[in-house]
Each structure stands twice: as C-alpha cells, then as structure tokens.
C-alpha cells in the first residue's frame, strides 16, 4: 500500500525515505540519501532510523503514471479496496500537504516524548524530478521490539505524512498505534480514528494470515477531513518478524 502508492516490498534502512512526492499504502520508491537512484525502495516512513517496510506506502516519481497510463494525481481514492487487500491491489495516489500552515510539530513532539523516542534532526531530501522535502525519524529499541516514528514535510514546513512502525509482538502495540492515530490535523476526529483502528486490526490480521507468504496487507482507508489513514501489516525477519505500520497522509481534499 502506499501513500504515494507503490511500496515495493523490500527496504533498506539506509535510504532516507521514498515517500517524497506521492503516497499510497503500498508505496515504495527507489532513492538514496544523495539523490541518486538505488535499487532499494522505501515507504513513506522509512529513514535511517526507520523500519523498512516489506510492503508499503509507495510513492511514484513526479510525472509517473499508473499501469493504465493515468497520472497518480488523477487517481480517485474511491477506488481503494473496501476490505483489507494485498498492497499490489491498492491504487496509486500522490500524497499532498495536509493543510497549508499545519506542521503537526506539537503533536509529533508530544508523541515522541510520551514514548521516549528521540527524533533525529530534519534532513532535506532531494530527488531528481520531484519536490524537495524534509524528513525526520526516531526509534526506540525495547528488548527485541522496536518502535519508530517518521514524518515528512514540504520545504515550507507543512506536514505531508506521518508513519509509525511497531512489531506485532510488542506488548504495548495497541497503545502505541492508538497514540499514532491521534494526529491533531484540521478536521481531525481522533476518537473515531482509534475506533476504526481497533476494528481494523483483526480484519487485517485475518487477511494477512490467509494471504500468500510474504504479502503485505493494506487496510481500507479511514478518511478524516484532508487526511487518509491506512494500517499495513507485513513480515520482515530483520525487523523481528510480523509488524504493523500506520500511515496518515494528506489527500489534498476534505
């Protein structure tokens, strides 16, 4: 799945983030910190300290098209599956600034502090043919489990995307995901988003258990004003096995 839509399921923690210009629960993009091409693909929340999704929220480059020849920007989110589905079946859509002037910084600072996660200094990401962005991420290892928070902004400082990663085996997984689902963007309804999340986890679990090995499962979208939220489940042995990743990204419309 991919907030920029098209996450190729194999990611390396070296590249800063491929969520740049697009967004989709199954997103993935080829890029490296220096702006050169790379065979590694990252999802919107991936960075030096971010987990690498095995499925993801991928983002197409500027000017890219979908298999049907349509521009990702013209894709209608109404085409998003209404039930948990393999990330390859998720339509592409270019993530947008959530709302001009909304940085999400206060919320991000509270979220990181409450979970003892130190966020790295923002780093500018430059990709040929796409708008430059700012990215930050932070992780905390607790025993064999790891929690990660990552965010992406426009150069003007407007929030584009927030993602949280947590191992399925983490005993505080539900609480962490709840906190990550409480973004305070304009028109936000945190309680409704958390209720949606509670109902979605077992559905995603079921699809993941019955899906083909190695598949990345993306949930239906939850819409709240100018933001869409999606829950993803996948497996990565290097990250401790099964994991969840929650993405909230701007859709450019409310």
Q: What share of the chain is helix, strand, coil (3-state, %, to 5)?
A: 20, 30, 50
What is the rounded average pLDDT for all residues in the chain? 75
**Per-residue model confidence as pLDDT tens digits over 152-189:** 999 999 999 999 999 999 999 999 999 999 999 888 89
Percent of the chain with pLDDT over 70: 69
Torsions phi, psi for 150 (to 5 deg): -145, 150
**Per-residue model confidence as pLDDT tens digits over 81-103:** 999 999 988 888 778 899 999 99
- Rounded Cα–Cα distance for residues 187 and 153 (Å): 19
Confidence category of residue 65, pLDDT binned at 50, 70, 90: very low
Residue 122: give the domain boundaries. 2-64+71-250
Of the candidates 77, 73, 63, the one whose C-alpha atom is nearest the C-alpha of residue 1 is 77
Does residue 17 contact residue 150 with C-beta atoms inside 8 Å? Answer: yes
Which residues make beta-bridge pairs with 147? 140, 166
Of the candidates 105, 114, 115, 119, the one whose C-alpha atom is nearest the C-alpha of residue 47 is 119
- Rounded Cα–Cα distance for residues 84 and 68 (Å): 23
CA 220 to chain centre: 14
Domain count, the chain: 1
Does residue 162 contact residue 247 with C-beta atoms inside 8 Å? Answer: yes
SS3 176: helix
pTM of the model: 0.75
CA gyration radius, the chain: 16
CA-based angle 224:180:50, to the nearest 5? 120
């Amino acid at each position: 799945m991919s907030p920029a839509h098209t996450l190729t399921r194999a990611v390396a923690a070296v590249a800063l983030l491929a969520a740049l210009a697009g967004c989709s629960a199954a997103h993935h993009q080829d890029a490296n910190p220096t702006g050169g091409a790379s065979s590694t693909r990252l999802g919107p929340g991936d960075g030096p300290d971010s987990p690498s999704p095995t499925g993801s929220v991928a983002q197409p480059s500027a000017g890219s098209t979908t298999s049907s020849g349509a521009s990702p920007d013209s894709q209608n989110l109404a085409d998003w599956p209404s039930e948990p589905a393999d990330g390859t079946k998720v339509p592409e859509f270019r993530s947008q600034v959530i709302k001009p002037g909304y940085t999400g910084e206060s919320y991000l600072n509270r979220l990181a502090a409450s979970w003892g996660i130190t966020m790295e200094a923002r780093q500018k990401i430059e990709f040929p043919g796409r708008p430059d962005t700012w990215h930050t991420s932070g992780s905390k290892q607790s025993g064999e489990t790891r929690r990660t928070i990552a965010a992406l902004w426009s150069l003007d400082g407007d929030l584009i995307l927030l993602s949280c990663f947590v191992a399925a085996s983490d005993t505080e997984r539900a609480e962490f995901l709840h906190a990550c689902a409480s973004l305070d963007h304009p028109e936000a309804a945190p309680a409704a988003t958390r209720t949606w999340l509670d109902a979605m986890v077992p559905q995603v679990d079921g699809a993941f258990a019955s899906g083909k090995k190695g598949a990345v499962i993306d949930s239906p979208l939850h819409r709240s004003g100018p933001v869409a939220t999606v829950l993803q489940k996948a497996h990565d042995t290097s990250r401790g096995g099964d994991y969840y990743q929650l993405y909230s990204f701007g859709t450019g419309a409310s």
